[in-house]
Amino acid sequence: MDYELVPLSGDAVTGGGLNSTGVTGSLFGTAGASDGGASGAGNSSTSTTGEAPGGSGGSDGIGGSGGAGGTTDASGAGGSSSTTAVTTGSDDVTCDGLDDDDDGELDEDYVGSASACGMGACQSTGLLRCVAGSEVDDCVPGSPASTQDGPAINGIDDDCDGQVDEDAAACDTTPRAFLPGEHLGLEVPANCSQATVRLWGGAGASGEPEGVLFQLGGRGGAGGYAEAAFAVSGTLDLYVGGGADRGCNLAGGVAGPLMAGGGTGNSDEGAHGGDELVVGGGSGALPASASPGGNGHYGGGGGGEGDAVMGLSGRGGGGGAASYLLVDGTLVALAGGGGGGGGAASILLVVGVPGGDGGQGCAGDGEVADASGGGGGGGGVCIGDVTQQGNDGTPFDAASLPSGQAAGGAGSCSSGGGGYAIVTFST
Ligand SMILES: [Ca+2]
Ligand SMILES: [Ca+2]
Ligand SMILES: [Ca+2]
Ligand SMILES: [Ca+2]
C-alpha cells in the first residue's frame, strides 16, 4: 500500500515526521504543537513491512509517540523531540543580526523609536535605527549659541550645561538716590523685577519777619513722604520736586506736568499749591485781619502775608513742589510739598505777631496765625502704599536724607529743602 506524504499542519515548522524506513510506505505521526504541544500521535501502519514512526515534536514540544505497528511489524519509534525553538510567527523585531524568523532577512521587523539628546537650548530629537544588528541613535544635539549663560535671566540653559542662567548677574539692589529734577526713563538694573520708591516732597520756605521786635515769619512745612512697591514693567519716570528756594514771596520749585509747585506767598493771599487734580492740605486759616495761606494741592500752598493795615507786613514763604513716580504714565506714588510759612506783621513798627507755620506735606493744614500775622500754607497730598507727614518742619525719617533735605525753612525767609527720592530694585 502506498501512502502519500502529507505536509503537516499546525504551527510546527520543522516538526515533520521522520522518514519511514518502510519499504512501501509509512504513516507519520502528527507533529506536536508549537511551544510545548502535546505529543503527536503516530498512526497505525497498515504496512506489512514498514515502520510507522511517531511524528516529531513541535517547537519546544516533545516527540510524538510512535504509531502502532502494522500487522507484521513492531510499533514505530517515537518521534524525536524538537531541540530547536522554532518561531512560528513572522516577527524578527530584535536588532541582533539574527534572522529570527528564518525568512532570509535580518531584523526586518525592527521598529525604530524616537530618541532625544542634548541639554537646555541644545536639546534635539532623533530616531533609534537598527544598523547591521546594532541599534544606532541618529540624534545630534544642537550647538550652544554662547559659552555664557547670562547676563540676562531668560529661564533658558543657553550654554547647554544643564544649569539655567548660572552666569546671569544678580539684580543690583543698591538703593539709588535722586535729587530734585526730572529723571525720565529710569534705568532698571539687569534681572530686577520689583522696585520700591520712597519719595519726599519739596518743603516750604519760611515767611518774612517784620517789625522792630523782629517777629519771625512762620516756618515752612516739611515735604510729605510716600512709599510704594511695584513691578518693574514699563517706563519709570521720576520727578523730584524742588523746595521753595528761599522764603518771602517766592514760589516753590516747579517741574513736570504733575509736579505742581507751591504757590507764591504773595503780597496778599498766599497762592494755592499747584492747580492739579487733587485738592491737598487745608488752607492757612484767615486770621482776623491778615491774609490766609494758600491751599496745598500736590504742591504746598504759599504762606499768607501779614496784615499791613496797622503796620509793616511780612510776606509769606512759597510752598514746596511735589515728588512723584509714574510707571508707564500711571501715577504710583506722590509726596506732596510742604506749605510756606506766613509772613509776620508788626503794629506801629513795634508790636508784632509772627506768621503761621506752613502745613506739613501730606495734607497738613497750615497754621492759623494770631491777629495780623499771615496764615501758613497747606501741605500737598500724598499717594502711595505708605504716607507720612513730617513733624514741625522735619520730614519723616529724616535720617535717610541728606541734611536739610525736604525740611521746612525756618527763620527769616529761609528756603525749604528740596525733595528726594530713593529707588531700590529687587528680584
Ligand atoms: Ca528575518
Ligand atoms: Ca533579529
Ligand atoms: Ca547654563
Ligand atoms: Ca539663560
CA of 158 from ligand 3 middle (Å) equals: 5
Q: What is the mean pLDDT of residues 388-404?
A: 96
Which pLDDT value is given to residue 182?
87
Which pLDDT value is given to residue 225?
98
CA of 34 from ligand 2 middle (Å) equals: 20
Closest by CA to 162, choosing from 189, 188, 144, 138, is 144
Q: What is the pLDDT of residues 111-158, one digit of tens each?
A: 999 999 999 999 999 999 999 999 999 999 999 999 999 888 889 999
CA of 237 from ligand 4 middle (Å) equals: 29
CA of 64 from ligand 1 middle (Å) equals: 29
CA of 88 from ligand 2 middle (Å) equals: 14
Which pLDDT value is given to residue 16?
37
To 5 degrees, how large is the angle CA 110–CA 11–CA 2? 140
* CA separation for the pair 322, 324 (Å, rounded): 7
CA of 94 from ligand 2 middle (Å) equals: 4
CA of 107 from ligand 2 middle (Å) equals: 4
Q: Which ligand is nearest to the CA of 120?
A: 3
Q: How far apart are the first and last CA of the chain?
A: 101
CA of 402 from ligand 4 middle (Å) equals: 40
Which residues sit with Cβ closer than 5 angstroms to ligand 3, an ion?
Answer: 149, 157, 159, 161, 163
CA of 86 from ligand 1 middle (Å) equals: 13
Q: Which ligand is nearest to the CA of 166?
A: 3
Query: Would you kindly state where each structural domain of the chain is located, as residue ranges?
Result: 1-88, 90-168, 170-427
Residue 273 has pLDDT above 70, yes or no: no
Residue 64 grid coordinates: 510524538
Which pLDDT band holds residue 371 (cuts at 50, 70, 90)?
Answer: low
CA of 197 from ligand 2 middle (Å) equals: 72
Q: Which ligand is nearest to the CA of 154?
A: 4
* CA separation for the pair 140, 126 (Å, rounded): 7
CA of 124 from ligand 3 middle (Å) equals: 16
CA of 141 from ligand 3 middle (Å) equals: 15
Burial level of 83, CB count in 10 A (0-12/13-18/19+)? exposed
Which of 21-30, 49-58, 263-272 shows the lowest mean pLDDT across its residues?
Answer: 21-30
CA of 135 from ligand 2 middle (Å) equals: 11
Which pLDDT band holds residue 64 (cuts at 50, 70, 90)?
Answer: very low
Closest by CA to 256, choosing from 194, 352, 205, 331, is 331
CA of 236 from ligand 4 middle (Å) equals: 25
Average pLDDT taken over every residue of the chain = 75
Please tell me which residue, 304 or 167, carries the higher pLDDT value: 167
CA of 155 from ligand 4 middle (Å) equals: 5
Residue 92 has pLDDT above 90, yes or no: yes
Which pLDDT value is given to residue 217?
87
Contact 273, 224 (CB under 8 A): no
CA of 14 from ligand 2 middle (Å) equals: 20
Which residues sit with Cβ closer than 5 angstroms to ligand 2, an ion?
Answer: 92, 94, 96, 98, 100, 107
CA of 86 from ligand 2 middle (Å) equals: 13
CA of 224 from ligand 2 middle (Å) equals: 85
CA of 154 from ligand 3 middle (Å) equals: 11
Residue 60 has pLDDT above 50, yes or no: no
Which pLDDT value is given to residue 139?
97
To 5 degrees, how large is the angle CA 34–CA 82–CA 12? 30
Q: Which ligand is nearest to the CA of 97?
A: 2
CA of 362 from ligand 3 middle (Å) equals: 49
CA of 83 from ligand 2 middle (Å) equals: 20
49-53, 166-170, 197-201, 367-371 — most confident range: 197-201
Which pLDDT value is given to residue 328?
93
Please report, as a single letter, which amino acid is at residue 305.
E
Closest by CA to 305, choosing from 281, 331, 341, 272, is 341
- Buried/exposed code over 21-48 (b: 16+ C-beta within 10 A; e: otherwise): ebeebbbbbbbbbbbebebbbbbebbbe
Which pLDDT value is given to residue 302?
73
Q: Which ligand is nearest to the CA of 130?
A: 2
Which pLDDT value is given to residue 353?
80
Contact 54, 26 (CB under 8 A): no
Q: What is the pLDDT of residues 404-416, one digit of tens each?
A: 999 999 988 898 9
Which pLDDT value is given to residue 301?
73
Contact 408, 206 (CB under 8 A): yes
- The share of the chain scoring above pLDDT 90, in percent, equals 40
Q: What is the mean pLDDT of residues 321-336?
A: 92
CA of 170 from ligand 4 middle (Å) equals: 13
* CA separation for the pair 151, 241 (Å, rounded): 35
CA of 17 from ligand 4 middle (Å) equals: 72
Which pLDDT value is given to residue 256?
57
Burial level of 277, CB count in 10 A (0-12/13-18/19+)? exposed
Contact 355, 414 (CB under 8 A): no
* CA separation for the pair 368, 293 (Å, rounded): 9
Residue 316 has pLDDT above 90, yes or no: no
Q: For residue 168, what are the CA distances in angstroms to 35, 43, 145, 155, 164?
A: 64, 86, 15, 10, 9
**For the CA atoms of 376, 382, 386, 388, what is the dihedral angle to 10 degrees?**
-10
Which pLDDT value is given to residue 395?
98
Phi-psi region of 35 (alpha: psi -120 to 50; beta: other; left: phi over 0): left
* CA separation for the pair 404, 408 (Å, rounded): 8
**Cis peptide bond prior to 151, omega within 30° of 0:** yes
38-52, 73-87, 215-229 — most confident range: 215-229
Please tell me which residue, 248 or 21, carries the higher pLDDT value: 248
